[in-house]
Amino acid sequence: MVKIEKAPEGIEGQGFFATSFDKVIGMARANSLWPLPFATSCCGIEFMATMGSNYDLARFGSERMSFSPRQADLLIVAGTISKKLGPVLKQVYDQMAEPKWVLSVGACASSGGIFDTYSVLQGIDNVIPVDVYVPGCPPRPEQIIEGILKIQELARNESLRRRNSEEYKKMLESYNIETV
Ligand code: SF4
């Protein structure tokens, strides 16, 4: 069944509909997320299931996976990230154009999970900012979908000014991410 996205809030009359630019852009962004799956282990398998016909991520406009960071706007990190891989993950994030969002899938990506060891990054938010965390080891596809819905909510309601704000720039600088 195809569900038509509701129009954003606005003023409607005979033959016209007026709303704000923020709302239209937010609606478009929320429904056309291009994920880049950065999957390293078991959580990646759950993500594959989320992509399959049973869970059908395409329902949310996110079926077009991008393995090129320059076209992606949603970085999905699923799996154990070793400290050696941290700079690689950061480089992928750096190469993505704004606006971009990050979904941390599972205990390992979010906190190192059960691997409290010298070699495992204790959470990807040590190297890049994260927008939504999905708990679980592994999380079920339903939880991953819930995470995507939360990202959609953020994208839909984000002010167009946010990415140029001093607060946002300071947050990126705290991760040693260059701002232009
Ligand atoms: S959180 Fe659990 S299922 Fe996911 S990558 Fe880590 S060990 Fe595997």
What pLDDT is attached to residue 118? Answer: 97
The DSSP code for 26 is: H
Which ligand 1 atom sits nearest the alpha carbon of residue 41? 5
Confirm if 92 and 38 have CB atoms less than 8 A apart: yes
Q: Cα of 107 to ligand 1 centre, how many Å?
A: 6
Rounded to the nearest angstrom, the distance between the alpha carbon of 85 and the centre of ligand 1 is 16
CB 87 within 8 A of CB 81: no
pLDDT digits (tens, 9 = 90+) for 119-164: 999 999 999 999 999 999 999 999 999 999 999 999 999 999 999 9
Does the CB atom of residue 106 touch ligand 1 within 6 A? yes
**29-174: CATH topology:** Rossmann fold (3.40.50)
- Of the pLDDT bands very low, low, confident and very high (cuts 50, 70, 90), residue 2 is low
Identify the band that residue 180 occupies on the pLDDT scale cut at 50, 70 and 90. low
Q: How far apart are CA 17 and CA 43, in angstroms?
A: 44
Q: Does position 171 have pLDDT exceeding 80, yes or no?
A: yes
Residue 1 has what pLDDT? 65
Q: Are 60 and 146 in contact (CB under 8 A)?
A: no
pLDDT attached to residue 178: 81
Question: Per residue in 53-65, pLDDT tens?
Answer: 999 988 888 878 8
Ligand 1 pocket member 45 (CB < 6 A)? no
pLDDT at 175: 94
Q: What is the pTM of this model?
A: 0.93
Residue 147's contacts (CB-CB under 8 Å, 6 or more residues apart) are: 103, 105, 132, 133, 134, 139
Q: pLDDT digits over 66-108, tens only?
A: 899 999 999 999 999 999 999 999 999 999 999 999 999 999 9
Closest CA to ligand 1's atom 8: 42
> What are the residue ranges of helices labelled H in the chain?
21-30, 42-51, 86-95, 106-111, 141-157, 166-173
80 CA from centroid of ligand 1 (Å): 7
For ligand 1, atom 2, name the residue with the nearest CA: 137
